[in-house]
Chain A
Amino acid sequence: MNCEQARLLIGAEPGNASAELAEHLQGCAACATFREETLTLDASIQRALQRPPQLASARRAPLRTWRQWALAASVLLACTATLGVWLLRPTDTLAHELVAHVEAEPDSWLSAQQVTTEGVNEALRSAGVQLDVTSDKITYAHSCWFRGHYVPHLVVQTSQGPATLLILHHETAPAGRRRGFSEAGMSGVIIPAQTGSIALLTRGGDVNLLAQEMQHDMHWLPDAR
């Protein structure tokens, strides 16, 4: 072990007691000093971490009234412009955001343990979706924050492999018109539903077969919102 390796190890694990490091420290006074310093530093870090700082917004000088009104007007203008851009944004961003969301939760594809009915219900209920999912092969069920709403995020084991199902009860889609997409190794389809729409995503499976399969497994309840 050389000095660079020793210091990397000491800096990363100050309490490391490996024989190799001990041997190096016996013959290197500089690294031994570095270790003593780091141990002292680490004790301070431990003390500091015991209590997060109380953070408070720094006080700013009071603004004159006309400046406050000008600031409010500019904020309102910016919000209006942002809202306009958001409302007029191309709907293709929905597909992009779906893929990004699924990519951000890679564990969802890997789960093999069946989620209990209670777990599925919880995911649906906390997103305010009243839906009867009759599949008994759901291996992932969470209520996820997506485009300003909580939506149920399920992974269902199908004949086409695992499929992600996002119930987008706030995303309307033109009736009778499916929209397919393919991005980042995933293919998917957005299907208009009784309430909002449903997105299906798969890696390598046939989305059309998947959509047929899922339609047998999902039923909106009569009082669905």
Chain B
Amino acid sequence: MRNPQPESPVLSLGERLPGGDAGAPLTRLFESLRPDLLRFAHWLARDRAIAEDIVQESLLRAWRSREALKDANAARPWLLTIVRREHARLYERKRLELVPLDEVVETHAGEASAQAEDDLFALRHAIMKLPLEYREPLVLQVLGGFSTEEIAQELALSSTAVLTRLFRARNKLRVICGLPSAPDAAAGQEQP
């Protein structure tokens, strides 16, 4: 088998929007989910520019594998999974840890410094500072809407291990919010 001449690469999904090709509805669906994907990638990568790269690469991969998407209603979790894997691939390859959080500050961007905003500010920072092993399942659960079993499958962990990580993630955030820390009964028992 000799490979045929490759087609033009998909440079940007957005470029296909004005066209009337058969993939346009799917492209519009992908584009409509882009803000969700970007938010998700941002929480994983902790860097806006990297998150944008991850989402762009993920959408290209999704487009190439679009036959695998049988149900448009499943597009969101499907794309979130691709984003997570793309982040993991980038992280493994480049050993990314690009945002030393001790050396950065969050810009308030003109927000009123009300107590509630200050609390959210602290909470956002606390979530950003969570180790990836705790931040990832929390973001998958709260932002992605994945169940414990789905997270376990995606992260190749046992359900018990995922429960433990989610518990510990919230336990760390409890302290930030001035709540007493719960005893960690699972300390030393987590199994992959």
On A, residues with C-beta under 8 Å from B are: 4-5, 7-9, 11-14, 34, 37-38, 41-42, 44-58, 101, 104-105, 117-122, 124-126, 132-136, 144-146
The 9 closest A-B pairs by CB, nearest first: A11-B167, A4-B185, A12-B166, A12-B163, A52-B42, A53-B106, A145-B93, A121-B6, A48-B123
Contact with A along B99-111 (1 / 0, CB 8 A): 1010111110100
Q: Quick one: which of B124-147 are within 8 Å of A by CB?
A: 124-125, 127-128, 138-139, 141-143
| A9–chain B nearest beta-carbon distance, Å | 7
Please determine whether A11 and B127 come into contact, CB atoms closer than 8 angstroms.
no
Please determine whether A49 and B170 come into contact, CB atoms closer than 8 angstroms.
no
Q: How far is the CA of A185 from the CA of B167 in the complex (A)?
A: 36
Please determine whether A37 and B99 come into contact, CB atoms closer than 8 angstroms.
no
Q: A45-B123, A53-B124 are in contact. List 12 more A-B contacts (CB 8 A).
A: A12-B162, A34-B182, A48-B120, A48-B123, A48-B127, A53-B128, A104-B93, A119-B64, A121-B4, A132-B3, A134-B1, A144-B93
When distances are taken between beta carbons in the complex, the residues of chain A under 8 Å from B46 are 55
When distances are taken between beta carbons in the complex, the residues of chain B under 8 Å from A8 are 163-164, 167, 185-186
Would you call B30 an interface residue if the criterion is a C-beta within 8 Å of the partner chain's C-beta atoms? no
When distances are taken between beta carbons in the complex, the residues of chain A under 8 Å from B123 are 44-45, 48
Please determine whether A136 and B143 come into contact, CB atoms closer than 8 angstroms.
no
Cβ-defined partner of B183 (8 Å) among A7, A122, A133, A145: A7
Please determine whether A54 and B64 come into contact, CB atoms closer than 8 angstroms.
no
Q: Report if A56-B105 is in contact (Cβ < 8 Å); known contacts: A8-B167, A45-B142.
A: yes
Interface of B is mostly: helix
Would you call B70 an interface residue if the criterion is a C-beta within 8 Å of the partner chain's C-beta atoms? no
Please determine whether A49 and B120 come into contact, CB atoms closer than 8 angstroms.
no
Please determine whether A41 and B174 come into contact, CB atoms closer than 8 angstroms.
yes
| B13–chain A nearest beta-carbon distance, Å | 15
Contact with A along B32-60 (1 / 0, CB 8 A): 00000001001100111000000000000
When distances are taken between beta carbons in the complex, the residues of chain B under 8 Å from A117 are 1, 3-4
Please determine whether A53 and B125 come into contact, CB atoms closer than 8 angstroms.
yes
Q: Report if A55-B164 is in contact (Cβ < 8 Å); known contacts: A45-B138, A49-B127, A117-B1.
A: no
Please determine whether A11 and B99 come into contact, CB atoms closer than 8 angstroms.
no
Q: How far is the CA of A92 from the CA of B75 in the complex (A)?
A: 43
| Most chain A Cβ neighbours within 10 Å, of B1, B94, B107, B109 | B1
| B50–chain A nearest beta-carbon distance, Å | 11
Please determine whether B163 and A54 come into contact, CB atoms closer than 8 angstroms.
no
Q: How far is the CA of A53 from the CA of B168 in the complex (A)?
A: 22
Please determine whether B106 and A49 come into contact, CB atoms closer than 8 angstroms.
no
Cβ-defined partner of A13 (8 Å) among B64, B101, B148: B148
Q: How far is the CA of A118 from the CA of B90 in the complex (A)?
A: 23
Cβ-defined partner of B104 (8 Å) among A4, A58, A122: A58
When distances are taken between beta carbons in the complex, the residues of chain A under 8 Å from B47 are 55
| Most chain B Cβ neighbours within 10 Å, of A44, A55, A119, A146 | A55
When distances are taken between beta carbons in the complex, the residues of chain A under 8 Å from B138 are 45
Please determine whether A52 and B124 come into contact, CB atoms closer than 8 angstroms.
yes
Q: How far is the CA of A52 from the CA of B46 in the complex (A)?
A: 8
Q: How far is the CA of A104 from the CA of B85 in the complex (A)?
A: 12
Would you call B72 an interface residue if the criterion is a C-beta within 8 Å of the partner chain's C-beta atoms? no
Would you call B114 an interface residue if the criterion is a C-beta within 8 Å of the partner chain's C-beta atoms? no
Please determine whether A45 and B127 come into contact, CB atoms closer than 8 angstroms.
yes
Contact with A along B60-90 (1 / 0, CB 8 A): 0000100000000000000000000000011
When distances are taken between beta carbons in the complex, the residues of chain A under 8 Å from B185 are 4-5, 7-8
27 A–B pairs (Cβ distance < 8 Å), ordered by A: A7-B183, A11-B171, A11-B182, A12-B148, A38-B170, A41-B179, A44-B119, A48-B123, A48-B124, A49-B39, A49-B43, A52-B39, A52-B128, A53-B125, A54-B106, A55-B47, A55-B101, A55-B104, A56-B104, A57-B104, A58-B103, A118-B6, A121-B4, A121-B6, A122-B64, A125-B6, A125-B9
